[in-house]
Amino acid sequence: MSPPRSSRDRPNRPEEPLRVAVIGAGSSGLVTLRALAKRGIAAVGFERGSVVGGLWVRGSDSGHARVYDSLRINTSVAAMELSEFPMPRDCGDYPTHEVIARYFSDYAQRFALDRLVRFRTEVISIQEGEDGYEVASRSLDDGAMRRETFSAVVVATGHHHEPSLPNLPGSFEGPTLHASEYRNPKVPVDFEGRRVLVVGFGNSAVDIASELAERGGARSVHLSTRRGAWVLPRYLLGRPIDGKATIPLWIPGFLRRRIVTSLFTLLHGRMSKFGLPEPDHRIGEAHPTISSELPGLVRAGKISVVGDVAALEPGGVRLADGRFLDVDAIVFATGYRTVFPFLDPDHVRVEDNTVPLFERIFPPEHRRLFFVALAQTTGAIFPIAERQADLIARHLSGEYALPDREEMLEAIEAERRAIARRYVRSPRHTMQIDPEVYTKRIAKELARGQRRATHHRGLSFPSRP
């Protein structure tokens, strides 16, 4: 006789049609709406701004645009394009932010996704109930509030919105801004003739410092880093640097990183050859800093690289090595903090700039809540977000079952330890993923979850009562 079924392994098919709320209509919200639509799952998108595309839309009224005029994507088109929608062939390998914004707008139109989105509508709070989440939203046009229950919520609000600023002692008299506010060398601050300090050594820092030194008319540009970085060119051996890895994945990660670092040093030269500090880690152990311009500008004396800032002073900054640096303006390109203002911290807590998630998607404690693109990848995020959305849609439609809570918690802990082993300790790396490793892992997990679903094992999406 077959054993009685527990509530855990009841049939995977939900009895009633599902209705899912997707918060955010940037690239991640769009791929989620598409994945749900493909499986016939009803969804409503909520978007603060008037258009899709999220942070790529210059001048968007969402308050979330994070582009400067000269921004070009730093993940190549081949690595970033979505599976069902090729990038235009004539846009080059690293197109401008306008091309990226148009690509997502065209994608939304092609699959009629914009029709699913309530624009100018902000989600204020979500609250888990017995049979779903109550989503409270507010119209940004007339302030009208609305409360509705959805079977599930997908959070696709991005994590590059809230500036992270260093807590430095002292005060500085000149203009200061965060990279998210920078638009060009004249806006919002006219940098012409100024001695500028750019703090940070990520992609925002090197892009902004290079622009100010090359075309911005700054009198001098200093770049402050507390650990150095491998500054990688956009191309290597005639190909975009983020092309398929030539070192097979079966070679252990630490060895691959050693080989890549040695080969790169051999072909390109050490960072110190360009006047840059030697990084305190290998390639692949920090989020990549990509710039074909910076090494030449440092070598030409147009940018000077300095160490960590210890304190602000009226006419400049005091560096950690005790030196005083005369500067007139400071750009903090010090990254972002992960925040979810609509989530009660007792429900989902952001710790160390991340949320513990199984496969960077599923919070083990909340079976009706999912996250898309709450990850920092060493490559392009878009195909990753597409795969995550696909997994969510398969879970909702009963094709993919999650493992037990304990197994999810173990996997989360294993991932946390793997990140700590591999990456430089920094809040910017606490949800770092390697796209090749992750893609392979998620494909295996999908196969495992499909078997669980077929055999009524694991955790299926809770059916409506």
Ligand X SMILES: Cc1cc2nc3c(=O)[nH]c(=O)nc-3n(C[C@H](O)[C@H](O)[C@H](O)COP(=O)(O)OP(=O)(O)OC[C@H]3O[C@@H](n4cnc5c(N)ncnc54)[C@H](O)[C@@H]3O)c2cc1C
Distance CA 58, CA 98 (A): 8
Distance CA 340, CA 321 (A): 37
Shortest separation between residue 385's beta carbon and ligand NAP, angstroms: 13
Site mask for ligand X (CB under 6 A), range 204-243, x = bound: x---------------------------------------
Note whether 284 binds ligand X by CB under 6 A.
no
Note whether 428 binds ligand NAP by CB under 6 A.
yes
Using the rule CB under 6 A, which residue among 34, 64, 422, 452 binds ligand X? 64
Across the chain, which distance is largest between two alpha carbons, in Å?
85
- In 114-161, at which residue ranges do the beta strands (DSSP E only) sit? 117-118, 121-129, 132-139, 145-150, 152-155
Using the rule CB under 6 A, which residue among 23, 41, 241, 276 binds ligand X? 23
Beta carbons of 42 and 393 less than 8 angstroms apart: no
Distance CA 259, CA 112 (A): 46
Using the rule CB under 6 A, which residue among 203, 210, 354, 378 binds ligand NAP? 203
Using the rule CB under 6 A, which residue among 53, 132, 158, 200 binds ligand NAP? 200
Q: Which amino acid is at 24?
A: G
Beta carbons of 260 and 283 less than 8 angstroms apart: yes
Shortest separation between residue 429's beta carbon and ligand NAP, angstroms: 8
Residue 156, binding choice from ligand NAP, ligand X, none, Cβ under 5 to 8 Å by partner class: ligand X
Using the rule CB under 6 A, which residue among 19, 118, 120, 226 binds ligand NAP? 226
Tell me how far CA of residue 264 lies from CA of 269, 283, 284, in angstroms.
Answer: 7, 9, 12
Note whether 327 binds ligand NAP by CB under 6 A.
no
Note whether 234 binds ligand NAP by CB under 6 A.
no
Using the rule CB under 6 A, which residue among 23, 41, 199, 373 binds ligand NAP? 199
Distance CA 375, CA 377 (A): 6
Note whether 182 binds ligand X by CB under 6 A.
no
Torsion-angle region of 275 (φ positive above 0: left; ψ -120 to 50: alpha; else: beta): left
Q: Which of residues 95-134 bind ligand X (CB under 6 A)?
A: 122-123
Q: Is the peptide bond prior to 341 cis by the omega test (within 30 degrees of 0)?
A: no
**Residue whose tokens read 């098919």:** 13
Distance CA 345, CA 133 (A): 16
Q: Which of residues 260-289 bind ligand NAP (CB under 6 A)?
A: 287
Of 150-158, 169-177, 221-229, 407-415, the segment contacting ligand X by CB under 6 A is 150-158
Distance CA 189, CA 220 (A): 15
Site mask for ligand NAP (CB under 6 A), range 361-400, x = bound: ---------------x------------------------
Shortest separation between residue 19's beta carbon and ligand X, angstroms: 17
Distance CA 352, CA 423 (A): 14
Distance CA 172, CA 59 (A): 29
* Positions that interact with ligand X (CB under 6 A): 23-29, 46-49, 54-56, 62, 64, 66, 71, 73-75, 80, 122-123, 156-158, 160, 204, 342, 373, 380-382
Contact residues: ligand NAP, CB under 6 A: 71-74, 160, 166, 179, 199-205, 207, 226-227, 287, 308, 333-335, 376, 426, 428
